[in-house]
């Protein structure tokens, strides 16, 4: 910018934060507690409500609206994720993270106080809005305070939190539903959220972000509308009314058109929600494609393995949750070990490759399960799934954050979380369609026609109904169910195989070890834990 001759010198504008502000190991351990508590809130509420839905419906009514209790949360969670990342780049990570916690807590309290189904659905949507920020910003803050070279040793704990939440959700849901009541599913969030607020207020000291900006409202509205239509097609209209239903197809076409419009808007926006230039970064692009493809398989395994355990092995929801612990052990083992190796060597490319191989093998082995497969065998296959996920997800997060400019830390992290969530939504819908269609086929193959005619409508699609079938009918129905699950897991193999192939194109950029600061900046910028 040129100066006007004779003009009076003006005060320099506030300096924009130019780089990360790393913490010491002791400070990181304290901050991690708050961040993991925030992430636990978001991850737990994806699975804790499912067990309580029958009891909720019996008290509030609205059986026809049952699926919306889950769909509303998924919708706002996924759609808002990239927005949270961008907003945190503009206004600062800590304050935006705390806003997300507050929104989540308000949604939780209101959900606990809901008196009818529409209220509960609306408050679950508010919860999901806050959860989108908790998921994305937990990882972004890690990028702010830990050097990439050291990040792996801490990222593994976040993978473990996600794995534990997938098991603890059904366990806690069943405990509260059978004990103090389903409303405690939401009340339990309050002390955890308050703890996360206190820790981040006390320990997380980050410089103020001062950036000139112009919010891309049109881009934000377009991406939210596109994602909402796609998720409604996948989780509601397509499943309940048919994938080729007129309104379902209208939603799908609308989602595609709005996605194209979003790309057009972002190419011209001054401050885009997801800058298209990021996709010229091969690490960013490969990580997002890998996350999308692996997310499809990941959620397929997480959703349909408990169904196998409950239907075929006749386990209760609580027992099936405990039986998923080997997957958590696999996630914890590989994420911690890969993080430690990354810290020592600075190399990471091998881990998504190993993760992809493990997932391909695991999905194939899951497709060989039978009605009489031992629980030891089921546990080993689960461990392989978790082992592959632990080698993949957190490593790619670190690689992505290491490859982008600091100003794009939140945006890139939010995008990676967003594409992974979209993969989960797509995978759940695709696998659900495969299970339904193949179950009808296999029932006609293995169940005698006279027995099949005596089955109550929808009995083969209902866990409790299958458990109540007489033994001579139940045995062939279970065989048909297991064969359908074989098809589900085989369907996941091409997706993880695609992720594996993509991993070979990942470039290995040296992980940064930290940022030296000038002596005069040290006192001002070094985060401290006040007492």
Predicted confidence at residue 450, as pLDDT, reads 66
**pTM of the predicted model, to two decimals?**
0.78
Query: Is 510 exposed, middle or buried, given 0-12, 13-18 or 19+ CB atoms closer than 10 A?
Result: exposed
pLDDT in tens, 407-422: 788 888 888 888 888 8
Query: Got the DSSP string for 468-492?
Result: TS-HHHHHHHHHHHHHHHHHHHHHH
pLDDT score at 206:
61
- Check: CB of residue 123 under 8 Å from CB of residue 110: yes
Nearest to 272 by CA among 140, 68, 411: 411
**Which pair of structure tokens corresponds to residue 530?**
């006040």
Which tokens go with 469?
């079938």
The structural domains of the chain, with segments of one domain joined by +, span 20-211, 214-270, 275-511
Q: Which residues of the chain have pLDDT under 70?
A: 1-25, 54, 62-67, 152, 156, 163, 203-213, 238-239, 300, 317, 449-468, 512-531
pLDDT cut 90: percent of the chain above it: 16
Q: Within its chain, how far is the Cα of 21 from the centroid? A: 27
Residues 191 and 68: beta-carbon distance below 8 Å: no
Phi-psi region of 16 (alpha: psi -120 to 50; beta: other; left: phi over 0): beta
Query: What class does CATH assign to 20-211?
Result: mainly alpha
Angle made by CA atoms 13, 14, 17, in degrees to the nearest 5: 135
Q: How far is CA 395 from CA 24, 37, 160, 212, 441, in A?
A: 21, 21, 13, 32, 40
Q: How would you classify residue 61: left for phi > 0, otherwise alpha for psi between -120 and 50, otherwise beta?
A: left
pLDDT tens, position by position, 296-340: 877 767 778 877 887 888 887 677 777 888 888 888 888 888 888
Fold topology of 275-511: Growth Hormone; Chain: A; (1.20.1250)
CA 329, chain centre distance (Å):
19
- Per-residue HEC secondary structure of 98-126 comes to HHHHHHHHHHHHHHHCCCCHHHHHHHHHH
Indicate the DSSP class of residue 311.
H
Q: What is the pLDDT of residues 231-271, one digit of tens each?
A: 888 877 766 777 788 888 898 999 999 999 999 998 888 78
Q: How far apart are CA 91 and CA 211, in angstroms?
A: 8
Asked whether this chain's domains 20-211 and 275-511 adopt the same fold, the reply is yes
Residue 83: both structure tokens together:
């927005």
Supply the pLDDT for residue 527: 37
Give residue 500's pLDDT: 93
The pLDDT tens digits of the residues spanning 22-40 come to 666 677 777 777 788 777 8
């Amino acid at each position: 910018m040129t100066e006007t001759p004779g003009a009076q010198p003006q005060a320099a504008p506030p300096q924009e934060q130019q780089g990360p502000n790393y913490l010491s190991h002791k400070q990181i351990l304290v901050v991690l507690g708050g961040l993991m508590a925030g992430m636990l809130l978001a991850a737990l509420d994806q699975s804790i409500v499912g067990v309580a839905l029958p009891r909720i419906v019996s008290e509030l009514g609205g059986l026809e609206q049952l699926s919306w209790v889950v769909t509303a949360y998924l919708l706002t969670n996924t759609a808002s994720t990239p927005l949270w990342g961008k907003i945190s780049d503009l206004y600062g990570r800590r304050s935006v993270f705390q806003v997300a916690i507050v929104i989540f807590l308000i949604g939780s309290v209101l959900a606990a106080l809901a008196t009818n189904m529409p209220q509960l659905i609306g408050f679950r949507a508010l919860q999901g809005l806050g959860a989108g920020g908790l998921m994305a910003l937990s990882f972004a803050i890690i990028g702010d305070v830990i050097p990439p070279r050291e990040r792996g040793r801490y990222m593994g704990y976040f993978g473990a939190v996600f794995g534990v939440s997938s098991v603890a959700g059904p366990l806690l849901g069943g405990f509260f539903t059978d004990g103090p009541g389903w409303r405690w599913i939401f009340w339990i969030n309050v002390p955890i959220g308050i703890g996360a607020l206190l820790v981040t207020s006390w320990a997380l000291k980050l410089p103020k972000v001062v950036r000139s900006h112009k919010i891309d409202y049109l881009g934000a509205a377009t991406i939210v509308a596109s994602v909402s239509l796609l998720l409604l097609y996948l989780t509601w209209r397509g499943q309940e009314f048919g994938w080729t239903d007129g309104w379902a197809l209208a939603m799908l076409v609308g989602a595609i058109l709005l996605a194209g419009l979003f790309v057009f808007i972002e190419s011209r926006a001054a401050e885009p929600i997801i800058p298209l230039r990021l996709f010229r970064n091969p690490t960013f692009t490969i990580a997002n494609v890998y996350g999308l493809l692996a997310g499809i398989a990941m959620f397929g395994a997480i959703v349909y393995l408990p169904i196998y355990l409950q239907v075929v092995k006749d386990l209760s929801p609580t027992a099936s949750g405990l039986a998923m612990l080997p997957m958590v052990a696999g996630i914890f083992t590989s994420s911690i070990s890969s993080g430690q190796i990354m810290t020592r060597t600075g190399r990471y490319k091998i881990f998504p490759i190993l993760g992809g191989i493990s997932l391909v093998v695991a999905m194939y082995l899951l497709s060989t399960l039978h009605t009489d497969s031992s629980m030891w065998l089921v546990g080993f296959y689960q461990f392989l799934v978790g082992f592959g996920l632990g080698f993949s997800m957190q490593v790619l997060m670190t690689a992505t954050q290491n490859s982008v400019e600091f100003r794009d830390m939140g945006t890139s992290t939010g995008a990676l979380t967003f594409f992974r969530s979209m993969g989960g939504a797509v995978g759940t819908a695709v696998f659900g369609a495969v299970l339904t269609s193949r179950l009808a086929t296999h029932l006609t193959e293995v169940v005698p026609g006279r027995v099949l005619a005596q089955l109550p409508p929808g009995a083969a699609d209902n866990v409790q109904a299958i458990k109540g079938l007489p033994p001579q009918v139940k045995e062939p129905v279970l065989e048909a169910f297991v064969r359908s699950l074989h098809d589900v897991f085989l369907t996941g193999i091409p997706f993880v195989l695609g992720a594996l192939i993509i991993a070979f194109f990942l470039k290995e950029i040296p992980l940064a070890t930290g940022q030296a600061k000038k002596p005069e900046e040290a006192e001002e910028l070094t985060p401290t834990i006040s007492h």
